[in-house]
Amino acid sequence: MEERNEEAAVEPIWDTNSNPSNISKILFWVGGLEIALGFFVALYMADMTYEVGWTTFLIWFLPTLISGLLVIGFAEVIKLLTIMTNKMDS
């Protein structure tokens, strides 16, 4: 059985000082804006009858929450790939 050389092992270094791409920053803000606007639209739609309908609120808010989190997650993937690419280049 082959022994593992600990000195040759590459350990991941997540450099938080590296410059993430502008696309990841834009997508992060778009996802946050989508969640915030979805919240206010859901409140407006649920309050149209002068009584807050929580099922109506959830029907409007949950899809925007999920899609906003997906956009934020995609931005995080782009940021991590950019950091890894910058690390490999240097």
pLDDT at 69 over 60: yes
pTM of the shown model: 0.72
Can you tell me the mean pLDDT for 12-28?
Answer: 72
Sign of dihedral through CA atoms 40, 46, 51, 55? negative
pLDDT of residue 83: 87
Classify residue 67 by burial, with Cβ atoms within 10 Å: 0-12, 13-18, 19+: middle
Per-residue pLDDT tens for 33-58? 999 999 999 988 887 766 777 888 89
**Per-residue pLDDT, 8:** 52
Q: What percent of the chain has pLDDT over 70?
A: 73
Q: 1: pLDDT confidence band, cut at 50, 70 and 90?
A: low
* Contact criterion met (CB below 8 Å) for 41 and 81: no
For residue range 5-14, what is the model confidence (pLDDT) as tens digits?
A: 555 555 555 5
